[in-house]
Amino acid sequence: MRLHMIAATAALALLAGCNKSSGKDPGISVDTLKQVTEKLSSDEFEGRKPTTAGEEKTVAYLIERMKAAGLEPGNKGSWVQDVPLVELDAKNVSPLSFTGGQGDAISLNYRTDMVISTYQVTPKTQIKDSDVVFVGYGINAPERGWNDYAGVDVKGKTVVILINDPDWETKELKGDFGGRAMTYYGRWTYKYEEAARQGAAAAIIVHNTEPAAYGWNVVQSSWTGPQLEQDAPGNHMDQSKAIGWIQQDAAKQLFAKGGQDYAKLVAAAKTKGFKAVPFAGVKASVSFDSNIRRQASKNVIGILPGTEKKDEYVLYSAHWDHLGRCEKVNNDDICNGALDNASGTAALIAIAEAQKKAGPTKRTMVFLAVTAEEAGLLGSKYYAENPVFPLSQTVGGVNMDGVNLNGPAKDFVFVGVGKSELEDLMKKLVEGEGRTVVPEPTPEKGFYYRSDHFSFAKLGVPMFYGESGEDLVNGGKEAGKKAADDYTENRYHQPSDQYDAKWDWTGAIQDLNLFYWLGRQLADGDTWPNWYKDAEFREIRDKSRAGK
């Protein structure tokens, strides 16, 4: 019987009783979820920023909980994998100024009007009198017949870029870039990567709340203060000198200064064949110093060894880090990250406990708590590029980034649907709970490219990422959307993302049962789920499995 046909009390009984696809309750501990979430998100951990005292406490606590859960050290007798990071802390930031062109000079203030940073590991960054070019969405996608940089030389210049994809406003999932659903071309990370490949001295993204999926407050809290990057040979000197964001109102002023109509150019950028537009006579300048600090952070790894196929691996992942101390709100400057992602890390521990109690599986289970997700998936990226266990021998897995604390849901969302055969396995489990698989309610937010599963997907490993939908047993879709919007607007990447003893964990248990059984099936099975034939990661996986 489906959940929408029964009362809330019956739904809770179903959750406590069994999973219809498996025949028994895996026994995910609510107490563990509460304890770990509350502990990690307490002020004692100072927001769990990597390379701080908060990290030291976090790593020690996770090792303690993994030991108590019955896991074994996952990295050749060690619980950790060092992840080399470099921290850049911008100081003495000048206004971002635009001179020349039409009208008075524009001076944008740090934090309120713009944020600015750099990937380059250098003590001084200066952009002076750099020509300004609007490059639309900043996409170069030959396979889609799209190149916003065609016919323009931006070497040494400042490029201004729109966030998301050109077709993000369409209502259907059809278009040059998947329609409403964001592709990787829509992510800010890609836009800076492509600008650097084109030789731009500075890359500035125009903030717009809907296509960005968050307000300026999130940009401000995430892009100010010390910034982390992977410490790599070459000090990232192949990247643009400066990267940043500007408020949309500031962008409108800039376009007018360049003799352009903002609305008309934004509309033009949505069409194939768009040509980049130089802002005649407009020059950009900005400068700042960077305090540089190098220090290794840590991924934490525990395993449950397999019995028959110890060298084949099933992976569970979650990121333990958050923002640390951030922009002060109501006299509070600790971004505790209770939902994001103390709750997902707690889920990692709770599933590990349940899997241990259930007994060993044929394949080895790996429980990976990664660092520096908030800085750009750096911990998972480092593991994927320097795997403790070969990716060619990693069957697949589940990533958890926040759990459902709004109560049980009638539906379940596959994030980035249409990617891998793991969805076939999960669909049966979801239907076994009497729930329905539904499309992503906000595919334009590009969640598939915003968490750690993407680091593994890019290198071929099928990873599942999903969550409860918005159709709640209590209150339906209206209540679910209201709760989701409230979190995004009022708590996401803010000091207010704090533990609440009144949270309803039944929805979390509902989802974690699914993740438990997906991992259990993979670890006790013989199959190797692949990406669907038209998925962008299929060829990478096939070559990896073939040893190429």
pLDDT of residue 241 exceeding 60: yes
Q: Tens of pLDDT along 349-406? A: 999 999 999 999 999 999 999 999 999 999 999 999 999 999 999 999 999 999 999 9
Encoding tokens for residue 183? 């592709």
Q: How far apart (Å, rounded) are the C-alpha atoms in residues 364 and 384?
A: 17
Q: Which two tokens stand for residue 431?
A: 């239907």
Per-residue pLDDT, averaged over 67-94, amounts to 97
pTM: 0.86
The beta strand positions in 180-308, using DSSP E, are: 202-206, 227-230, 242-246, 277-304
Q: Which residue is listed with tokens 């990267």?
A: 243
Tell me the per-residue pLDDT of 154-188, one tens digit each, with 9 for 90 and over. Answer: 999 999 999 999 999 998 888 899 899 898 999 99
Element (H, E) at 397: strand 394-399
Question: Predicted confidence band at 18 (pLDDT cuts at 50, 70, 90)?
Answer: very low
Q: Residue 13: CB partners within 8 Å, gap ≥ 6?
A: none
3-state secondary structure of 246: strand
Residues 443 and 302: their CA atoms lie apart, in Å, by: 33
* Average confidence score pLDDT of the chain: 93
Q: Provide the pLDDT for residue 15.
A: 39
Q: Where on the phi/psi map is residue 145: left (φ > 0), alpha (ψ -120 to 50), or beta?
A: left
pLDDT tens track for 186-231: 999 999 999 999 999 999 999 999 999 899 999 998 899 899 999 9
Helix crossing, 506-524 with 344-358: angle to 10°? 50
Cis omega before residue 330 (within 30°)?
A: no
* C-alpha dist (Å) from residue 117 to 29, 294, 303, 535: 42, 17, 38, 34
Distance between CA 91 and CA 85 in Å, rounded? 19
Q: How many other C-beta atoms lie within 10 A of the C-beta of residue 546?
A: 8
Checking if the pLDDT of 469 tops 90, the result is yes
- The proportion of the chain whose per-residue pLDDT surpasses 90, expressed as a percent, equals 87
> CA 47 to CA 205: how far, in whole Å?
27
Do residues 510 and 471 lie in contact, with contact meaning Cβ atoms separated by under 8 Å? Answer: no
| DSSP letter assigned to residue 505 | -
339: DSSP letter: I
Residue 472 has phi, psi (to 5 degrees) of -80, 150
Taken as a whole, the chain contains a residue count of: 548
Radius of gyration of the chain measured on its C-alpha atoms: 23
Contact 101, 81 (CB under 8 A): no
CB 355 within 8 A of CB 416: no
Query: For the purposes of burial, counting CB atoms within 10 Å of the CB of 238, is it exposed (0-12), middle (13-18) or buried (19 or more)?
Result: exposed
Decide: helix, strand or coil at residue 513: helix
Q: How many Å separate Cα 367 from the centre of its chain?
A: 18
Average pLDDT over residues 407-427: 95
Helix (H) / strand (E) element for 314: namely strand 309-319
- Mean pLDDT calculated for residue range 451-470: 95
**Under 8 Å between Cβ of 288 and 92:** yes
Q: What are phi and psi of 84, to 5 degrees?
A: -70, 125
Q: What is the mean pLDDT of residues 261-284?
A: 97
DSSP letter at 75? Answer: B
Each residue's pLDDT tens digit, 48-60 = 999 999 999 999 9
Q: Which tens digit of pLDDT belongs to each residue from 110-150?
A: 999 999 999 999 999 999 999 999 999 999 999 899 999 99
Provide the 10 A C-beta neighbour count for residue 322. Answer: 28
pLDDT given for residue 2 in this prediction: 28
